[in-house]
Structure 1
Amino acid sequence: MSTPTADLAAAGVSIWLDDLSRTRISSGNLAELIETRNVVGVTTNPTIFANAITDKNNTSYDAQVTELAASGATAEEAVFAATTQDVAAALDVFRPVWEKSGHVDGRVSIEVSPDLAHDTEGTVASAKELWAKVDRPNLLVKIPATKAGLPAITEAIASGISVNVTLIFSLERYAEVIDAYLTGLERAHSADFDLSSIHSVASFFVSRVDTETDKRLSAIGTDEAEALKSKAGLANARLAYELFEQKFAEKRAQDLIKLGANAQRPLWASTGVKDPALPDTLYVTELVAKDVVNTMPEKTLEATFDHGVVSGDTITGGYEEAREVFAGLAALGIDFTDVTQVLEDEGVSKFIDSWHDLLTQVAEALEAQR
């Protein structure tokens, strides 16, 4: 019998889990999800690691914290050691998937320090340090799509580093991300890198778009506003996929692909449904097309496996309807450029807060061992 996650994979969607912990790896749970839920990758972020490392019921980091405390490590050094160890171990679990997929999937992402979101040079240095430390060909280094992040993406790609571009909310910024990627590939080719070894995904956030837009629609309160609720996130993602199709069909991208380069796949992030009135698989089953990644919290993954209905491509036929959604929002006075800027600022801020919370708690754990 086929399962909804198997159907999703057959439709061209790569299922990645938006979570990682040392226990998940050591218990065999990650391998089980690969086998039973068609999971072919993992994404991480500071919040995920903060939850894993500071979980009072999780003792899997205790021995390493004791060792790091004895060596005099700082909180930053301890977090770097713990997270890179986890990611390297997960990458080893995914190595057969990486091989079987022709090096497309079997990927695990690790993020540069959120404190560097507006520091181009610092981001590049952090990306190179993470790439060298983890030392696995199926790694993706996460770089945020801030203005300062764009040249860092180019520099990382030009250096042969595979990149997960994160925190993309607007089509305008997505176009800049694609340009940054292609520019990096052009520079990598000039430096004689093997372009086929460089991979990238562009992480387009979905549910947060609805959360912010719906808040503004509620403030308007008309029937027209109510009718547009919970539509902006899907519309935005569908138009992002249209842009992906257009940009990678153009001569510039095709010339690089002929040289062995890979298209930068769209990745749907923030796919957990925030509004309990909505179907819990909405941002999965309504965003199906070939060559996309959907990274899901475990709750969303299990909901999809249990009762997701995969009915083939639910993106490419919806471009005009998506444009109508944005026309309706504009008619109501919703400034979508402001929506996406607020979301980018909030996204960076949330990751910084999680990062500092993690550093504080690790510092306390280190101090307790000294």
Structure 2
Amino acid sequence: MECWCPIIVMSESWGEYVVLGLDAIIFGICSHVYWNYSFSSSLVEKAHRLGINPIFDNLSDEDKFYSAYQGEVKALGKSIKSLNSPDVSGVIQRLTIREHSIARNSSGFWSDQKNTIQEAYNVVPFVLERGRMVVEIVDPLNAELLDLDTVHNKFETSKMGFLDSFVGFFYGVRQRGIETTEEMMKEGSVITAIGEVSKDNQGLLQLSSSSRGYPYFLTSMPITSLLRKLEEQKRTYKWLTYLFGSIGLVISYKILKNWYEKRKEKLRDEELKRKLQETRKERRKNARTGHELQENECCVVCKENPKEIILLPCGHVLLTAKIVKIYCRTGAAHLPTITSPQYTVIRP
């Protein structure tokens, strides 16, 4: 039987578990991105390079699923004229409108923010041409890497009066201006395309996104530069994976160590209770057989009955159960000879 006096029970902190959970999420993201870059780098390095005049039927199945080709961009039909630079034409056009603002974050500091208001694409069929070799590019917007040249960029500062500034300061958001950007894949630019090769009904080679889910690239970089970029990203996320993995191991070790220490303390307390129960049984047995109690065996309050109660964490055995019940019922702040306001009463 246990009797609990008024004590302050401290709930176990979950901070370490929260940090471990966040670390596990970041570790998972970094490792996933690392393996993606590693996989992409390996594929690009092994991708078949289409020659000047490749014969589709001579390509192996693996070469058809992932090949690279570099050539000049040429529209199949009428190209797209730039809205802001009439002399510029291309095959892919991206128009973006962004709102720039300054927002107050949770810590009270102001930081720049960008919000895309509108983004639109215009695409016309096009091919990559090198000598007599022509390869049509299919579904270019599905490319994981799509390099476009910026042909126009304009930032218009917002004109704000005193009232607008005051309201923006009150709500924590102040508009800075609107940015308009036009990007294009220009005709005549050299593009490296990496994807799956197929042939249409007219015998024209086509390059599109892989049916196996391999990465699809349309980049202005040569293959060597693309490989170097992928390797740099791969190394970055590799070290981030190692870093957050190590942090997770340290936190896990600390959690396991705390659990082991608490488990050991619990077993020690159980052993102490067992021994105290045996001692109490022995004292009661002696009391029933007429054994005369010594002064150091009597309750320090009533001076008659044997000591029965253990006070934790100090471990004092000074009182009888009757005296402790009186103190618990009356809500006394302290028991005799005990200076700590927090204690647990256990009947052995």
TM norm. shorter chain > 0.5: no
Identify, as 1 or 2, the structure richer in strand.
2
- Point out the structure with the larger helix share: 1
Scaled by the length of structure 2, the TM-score of the pair is: 0.23
- Please, what TM-score do these two structures have when normalized by structure 1? 0.22
